[in-house]
Amino acid sequence: MITSIYFLFVFLPLALCIYHLAAANYKEYILVVLSFVFYGLGCPDYVLLFAGATFATVCIGRMMHRTTDKRMRCLLLIVGIASNLGLLLYYKYKDPVVAAFSNSAQKDTAAIQIVLPLGISFFTFKAVSYLADIYTQKAILSERIVSDMVYLSFFAQIQSGPLARYNDMRQGERCSFDGTLFANGVFRFLIGFSKKILLANMLFHITREVFALPIDKLPMNLAWLGAICFSLQLYFDFAGYSDMAIGLTEMFGYHCRENFNYPYMTESVTKFWRRWHISLSEWFRDYVYIPLGGSRTKRNVQVYFNLLIVWLLTGIWHGASMQFVVWGLGYFAAICLERLTGLPSRITSKSGKFVYRILTLFYINFLWVLFNSPNLTYGLQFIGRMIAGGGHQALHLRAGILLSEYGIFIAAAILFCFPVVPKCEKIMKRDRIAGAIFDIIEALVVLLAFVLSLSFVVAGQNNPFAYANF
Known catalytic residue: 20?
no
Check residue 178 and give left, alpha or beta (phi > 0: left; psi -120 to 50: alpha): beta
Closest CA to 400 of 198, 200, 219, 216: 219
For residue 461, count other CB atoms closer than 10 A to its CB: 14
Contact 335, 274 (CB under 8 A): no
Q: Which residues contact 359 (CB under 8 A, 6 or more apart)?
A: none
- CA gap 130, 138 in Å, rounded: 9
Separation in Å, CA 63 to CA 47, 69, 289, 447: 24, 11, 27, 48
Calculate the CA 408 to chain-centre distance.
25
Contact 368, 234 (CB under 8 A): yes
The string over 322-337, giving b where at least 16 C-beta atoms fall within 10 Å of a residue's C-beta and e elsewhere, is bbbbbbbbbbbbbbbe
- CA gap 162, 258 in Å, rounded: 8
Quick check: helix, strand or coil at residue 22? coil
Closest CA to 99 of 91, 109, 90: 109
- CA gap 445, 346 in Å, rounded: 42
- CA gap 110, 244 in Å, rounded: 29
- CA gap 171, 163 in Å, rounded: 15
Calculate the CA 422 to chain-centre distance.
22
Using alpha carbons only, give the angle 141, 145, 146 rounded to the nearest 5 degrees.
Answer: 115
- CA gap 233, 199 in Å, rounded: 7
Contact 192, 244 (CB under 8 A): yes
- CA gap 131, 318 in Å, rounded: 22
- Of these residues, 255, 318, 392, 396, which one is catalytic? 318
Q: Residue 117 gets which letter from DSSP?
A: P
- CA gap 348, 164 in Å, rounded: 38
Which residues are marked as active site? 318
